[in-house]
Amino acid sequence: MKQAIFTNNLGENLSRFLSKKNYSQYFILMDENTQQHCLPVLQQEAPDLATAVRITVYAGEEHKSLQAVEYVWKRLTEEKADRHAVLINLGGGMVTDLGGFAASTYKRGIDFIHVPTTLLAQVDAAIGGKNGIDFMNYKNQIGVFRQPAAIFVHDGFLKTLPDQQIISGFAEVVKHALLAGGKLWKTIRSMESLSNVGWKDMISESMAVKLAVVEEDPKEKHVRKVLNFGHTIGHAIESLLISRKQESYHGHCIAAGMLGELYLSEKCCGLHEEKRKEVSAVIEKHFPKIIFKEEDSDALMDLMKQDKKNAGSAIRFVLLHKIGQAVIDVEADELMIREALKSIYSE
């Protein structure tokens, strides 16, 4: 099923969409922060939602959990939601993943709508039909593929989003730009800072990159893997920081991962050295450095060996041959990967 996507006039488009659908009941799922910052915006834009039943969960990745899903199912049941009800997920990727999963499983599936409120959710998490929760310390261990009935993107929500969350989401915008090349990359290359950015166009262009990829390969059998650029090393760094209870923003780790994988792209995939330096400089300008020591390489190598994309013992990467041209399933040997780790922030 192809979902409807709206990137402007939130209130008008949402009201029109809801009136056509004839849903029996509206439910809005939020976390504590989006209830405070985003619900008033949504209600002002779409007064039809004044009577919607609100369901609020705690904020934070640790609440993308079975316990939180159970709470959503419980609230839907208590409010006698039938199969024609709709769940509107108002939040970042944590809420859209959780709400998409809860709705997909309640009474064998009711409609859900994503209203993403973080940059990451707008350009990435809300798109592509992956819904799920974390389980037994494994991320996204339980989940389903199912498309939302619609996605409504409103850049106004970003006004209250903390700066570090904006920077974190920007990593996925950079990744999309490197995968697609063209205008989006040109815009990013010329940006001096992330303050006073007009996000609207950049969000639309970034969404379009992800949409094109997931429409071609909805269940990640082949080309969708390109979206993992930067994520083999990036996820390992993120897992290392989490295991040490150090502060970690997903996008900051992915930015560091992209630096390492750009190095591998040059060594294993023919990316021109000058291009690699140019892209690395752009990343280094916008993202904070994550400091790790050379001896952390062993732990990072172990974490990468557990990556889902691997086949046998070889570690596999998505690398860039050129900007706008990615190559999937590239195996790199251990020495080269260790060099790539060393190269991160060392120039």
Ligand X SMILES: NC(=O)c1ccc[n+]([C@@H]2O[C@H](COP(=O)([O-])OP(=O)(O)OC[C@H]3O[C@@H](n4cnc5c(N)ncnc54)[C@H](O)[C@@H]3O)[C@@H](O)[C@H]2O)c1
Question: Which parts of this chain interact with ligand X (CB under 6 A)?
Answer: 31, 33-34, 37-38, 59, 61, 64, 91-95, 97, 117-118, 120-121, 124-125, 128, 130, 139-140, 157, 160-161, 165, 250
Q: How far is the CB of 84 from ligand X (least distance, A)?
A: 25
Minimum CB distance to ligand X smaller for 41 or for 340: 41
Q: How far is the CB of 65 from ligand X (least distance, A)?
A: 11
Q: How far is the CB of 29 from ligand X (least distance, A)?
A: 12
Closest residue to ligand X: CB criterion: 93
Query: Can you say whether residue 9 is alpha, beta or left, with left for phi > 0 and alpha for psi between -120 and 50 degrees?
Result: left
Minimum CB distance to ligand X smaller for 138 or for 274: 138
Minimum CB distance to ligand X smaller for 21 or for 222: 222
The whole-angstrom separation of Cα 222 and Cα 115 is 28
Q: How far is the CB of 10 from ligand X (least distance, A)?
A: 13
H helix or E strand, kind and range, residue 326? strand 325-332
How far does the chain reach from its first CA to its final CA, in angstroms?
47
Q: How far is the CB of 277 from ligand X (least distance, A)?
A: 28
Minimum CB distance to ligand X smaller for 251 or for 269: 251
Structure tokens at 77: 């049941």
AA identity, residue 203: I
Distances (CA, A) of 286 to 21, 188, 194, 338: 42, 10, 7, 24
- Alpha helices (H) along the chain: 10-21, 32-37, 39-45, 66-78, 93-105, 119-120, 163-180, 182-189, 199-216, 231-243, 250-269, 273-286, 296-305, 334-343
SS3 track for 87-143: EEEEECHHHHHHHHHHHHHHHHCCEEEEEECCHHHHHHHCCCCEEEEEECCEEEEEE
Q: How far is the CB of 160 from ligand X (least distance, A)?
A: 4
Q: How far is the CB of 130 from ligand X (least distance, A)?
A: 4
Report the DSSP beta bridge partners of residue 143.
132
Report the DSSP beta bridge partners of residue 241.
none
Minimum CB distance to ligand X smaller for 120 or for 262: 120
The whole-angstrom separation of Cα 87 and Cα 104 is 10
The whole-angstrom separation of Cα 213 and Cα 231 is 16
Minimum CB distance to ligand X smaller for 27 or for 249: 249
Minimum CB distance to ligand X smaller for 225 or for 250: 250
Structure tokens at 202: 């950049």
Q: How far is the CB of 111 from ligand X (least distance, A)?
A: 17
Minimum CB distance to ligand X smaller for 117 or for 280: 117
- What is the torsion angle, in degrees rounded to the nearest 10, for the CA atoms of residue 207, residue 211, residue 213 and residue 218? 140
The whole-angstrom separation of Cα 108 and Cα 268 is 46
Minimum CB distance to ligand X smaller for 52 or for 227: 227
R_g of the chain computed on alpha carbons: 20
Q: How far is the CB of 140 from ligand X (least distance, A)?
A: 6
